[in-house]
Amino acid sequence: MSLPSLRSLLAVFKPEHSPGPPHDVRGGRFVVVIDCVLNQNVRDQGAANCPAMNFEFLRLCHENGIGIMQMPCPEIAALGFKRQRPPGTSIRQALDTPAGRLACADLAASVVGRIVELAEQGFRPLAVLGGNPRSPGCAVHQAASELSAESGVFMLALQAELRRHGLDLPFRGLRDASPELLAEDLQWFGQLSAATDAWL
């Protein structure tokens, strides 16, 4: 997977009339994350990799003063908690249908609406953090600055919706199925946090 440089990732849209920071201690930055990073209970049977949440990620956010926007699980939104689908159909196949893509597009529109609202107040969205490489809804695979077709159905809908609103956020999977890959992803996020200013 080729990854764009941090510098290229930091070019996000800047609202024309950002009101600037309010007079309190908030940090002004946030990251957009998939549901199961903070609640493993939403994962499909056999897919949880820790009892509750990715605490190392939470610790990084806390230490760097970064808020977290948690997105609802797209598989549950489209297929229900049990990922209901015809026998012999994979979750990916069930999600990559007109109905599944519509559910993901609706969810993406709702999430991006919240991101835009915060950005218009001057709060800075740092990145979208998705899931493992084989996640039907949330895998992140990149070809230059584009997500490639094997990415999760929801991630593809989310990038398209963000770009419709002039937002070009970096995407990265938090690949917790592999301790080595997860360590790389957390290191990347730590570097991104250190390289971005608060406030747009």
Site for ligand SF4 contains 108 (CB under 6 A) = no
Q: Which of 35, 161, 176, 185 binds ligand SF4 (CB under 6 A)?
A: 35
In the chain, the DSSP E strands lie at: 29-34, 66-71, 124-130, 142-143, 146-147, 171-173
Tell me whether residue 111 or residue 200 sits nearer to ligand SF4 (CB atom).
111
Write out the two tokens for 174.
């938090």
3 state DSSP class of 28: coil
Q: Please check whether residue 81 is in contact with residue 47, taking contact to mean a CB–CB distance below 8 angstroms.
A: no
What is the separation of C-alpha 9 from the centre of its chain, rounded to a whole number of angstroms? Answer: 14
Tell me the site size for ligand SF4, rule CB under 6 A: 12
Is 193 an interacting residue with respect to ligand SF4 (CB under 6 A)? no
Decide if 153 contacts 104 (C-beta within 8 A).
yes
Interaction between residue 100 and ligand SF4 (CB under 6 A): no
Least gap, CB of 74 to ligand SF4 (angstroms):
5
The residue within the footprint of ligand SF4, chosen from 73, 147, 157, 169 (CB under 6 A), is 73
**Residue 137 interacting with ligand SF4 (CB under 6 A):** yes
